[in-house]
Every structure is written in C-alpha cells, then in structure tokens.
Amino acid sequence: MYCLDIQPAISNSSCFNNFIHKLPRPSECMDQVLLWRGNWFTQEKSCKILSLIVSARPSSQNGVYENGGASNSKSKLNSIDDVLKGLVDWLCAQLKKPSHPTRGIPTAISCLATLLKEPLVRSSFVQADGVKLLVQLIYPVSTQQSIQLLYETCLCVWILSYYEPAVEYLETPRILPRLLEVVKNSTKEKVVRVCVLTLKNLHSKGAFGAEMVGLGLPQIVQSLKAQAWSDEDLLEALNQLEEGLKDNIKKLSSFDKYKQEVLLGHLDWSPMHKDPNFWRENITKFEESDFQILRVLITILDNSSDPRALAVACYDLSQFIQYHPAGRIIVTDLKAKERVMKLMNHENADVTKNALLCIQRLFLGAKYASFLQG
C-alpha cells in the first residue's frame, strides 16, 4: 500500500523528490528487494517509483549533490550504480519472461523510456543484450494500448541511437526493415515522428545509409512528405533525412545503384544496362546471396505488369547469359526459360524483342551471342 500511496507524490512534486534524495539510504536497497518479490502489484509499483526517483534525482553542482555527499564518493557511487544495475537486470528479465502476461513488458518499456537518459542505464542495458529485446517489439500494431507500447519502444531506440555502443548492436538484429514497416503502416503521428527521428540519426552511421537506400527509404520519405502532418519536428526530420539519403545515393557504386533498381522493381533503360564494362566488371557480384538479384529479375517476369520493366528484365537476363561463364546453366536451373518464353507473345513489341534475344542467347550460348547484339 505504501507504494501506491507515494507514487502520485513522486510524480507531481519536485519538493518531495528533493526530500527523498536527502534521506540517508539504508544498508540494503529495499526498493530492489521489492522488485523481485512474487507479487506483481508490488513489483510494478516499485519499478515505477524507483524509475521516477532516479530520473528526478537532483543534478550535481561543482561535484557535490544536494544531500552534501561528494559526487565522486565511492560509497555513494556504488549505491547509485547498484540501484541502476539492479533495475536494468529486472527490466531485461521482464522483457525476456514477464511476471505479468499483459503488464510486464509495457511496464518495463515505460520505465526504460525514462531511465535510458542515464548513462549507466544505457551502458548496462546494451551490455545485457537489451537492444535485441527491444527490436523484437517493433512491428505494425492497431490497438491503442499496442500503439503506446510501440511508441515507447521506438522512443527507447531513438534514445539509444545517440549512444555509439548501442548503434553497433542496432546493426546486428536488422532493425531497419522493422522501422520502415512501422513507418509505412502507422497512422499515429507520434509513432511516425519517433521512427523518422531515429532513422535520421542512424542514416549517417556505419552501413545504415546504404541499407536504407537498398530498402527503398527514399521512396517512403517522398510518400510521407506528401501526407498532411502537423508536427514541425517531423516535417523537418523528413527534409533532413531526404537530403541525407540523396548524399548516400551519390556515393553508391554502379552495382549498388543497379541492385537498388532491381530490388525496388523500378527497372528502366538507365545506361548501365547496355554498358559492356558494367557487366564485365560486376558479373561475379550477381552470385552474391545465392544469386539474389537474378532471382528477383525472374520474379519481376512473373509479377510485373509494366512493359518497360519486363523488357529490361529480359535484356538483363540475356546479358547475364552472355557475360557469365556458366550463365546458360544458371538461368536454366532457376527456371527462367519458361517465364521468358511466355513473354515472346507479349502485346508490347519491346518486351517481345528482348524476350526473343534472351531465348536466343540461352540456346546459342556465349560463343555466338555477340552476333545477336543490337
């Protein structure tokens, strides 16, 4: 009952906070003991109260805290460090195996959103592999309660995006596809804002920028800018992110640009498609990720209704057959021949022409392919 009685006082009174922080600490940290008790009510209130006390503790001035203790005092430092580390342990435990089926994870995330401003909490959370626990909670949702949980989870990631050791961990669990999926499907402005701000922070770090371009973020940003947002911070972040992505695109190699074009399905007659040097220099890169780009080209033949994309895909397959030593065998093994042959009767003349070229190269092979260029 004491937990329930003092929580509103802590939340609403700075004077009460100062009073709490001036009290001498007992030899054993009772708030941490309460965290690990079996009763969920006690655990939840203890966590929220402890988070509020920690976040509201008076800042040091000239190396001295308001209770008169030196900020570098070993006993005081150990006391604060122990409290924060113990709290982080409990929060991570809740994210892994919540004590309460519906309140465990939301309570932990809510407290984390408050506590991650503390440097020691950030470092302890990252060292405890907590970043991975956050990422798994990022996905599109619809209910109001789920939206709040998603917002606070993304808020935690946004705070961590300023912390370099955490950024390294964010690259590992493939967080970008999850953030982009949320941005594309969320209609809640505060959720979109915190995701966009996170993406803006990450795009210039490591390989994030190139990955964002490959995942189609430039197109998503354009779509978001076309919507009616009232939040000025969001609009400014979208503009900054757009400019940053343009710089990333300029730095991409010719194959990176080609890969982006194929993965997005936006095939066009850009110069690289008919550039012999492009194919000679990059032909082995088509082998990456089990011929991923080649497989996507074949998928475009099945799914695209755009005549230009179909024509370019057929032409690129014929180029692969010509320039790769095992091109005929690989394209045949991937069952591309049947797809291309269906397009030989397409109503668009350009599609028919390039489908025919692809089939000719497939049957004749590289030895005679040069006679069929044009």
- Specify if 311 maps to a domain: yes
pLDDT at site 69:
42
Q: For residue 133, give the H/E element and its range.
A: helix 130-135
Residue 188: per-residue pLDDT: 94
Q: Which of 21, 29, 28, 30 is nearest to 64 (CA)?
A: 21
Q: What is the pLDDT of residue 169?
A: 87
Handedness of CA 55, 61, 67, 69 (dihedral sign): positive
- pLDDT value for 328: 93
Tell me if 180 is assigned to some domain: no
Domain that holds residue 365: 256-372
Closest alpha carbon to 41 in 89, 2, 82, 90: 2
Domain-located, residue 306: yes
Q: Which segments in the chain show pLDDT lower than 50? A: 1-6, 9-10, 13, 15-17, 19-28, 30, 61-71, 73-77, 369, 372, 374
User: Looking at the domain assignment, is residue 285 inside a domain?
Assistant: yes
CB count, 10 Å around CB of 204? 11
Q: How many domains does the chain have?
A: 1
The residues near 152 (Cβ < 8 Å, ≥ 6 apart) are 106, 109, 110, 112, 113
98 domain residue, yes or no: no
342 lies in a domain?
yes
The DSSP secondary-structure symbol of 64 reads: B
Asked if residue 142 belongs to a domain, the reply is no
CATH number for 284 = 1.25.40.150
Q: Whole-model pTM?
A: 0.66
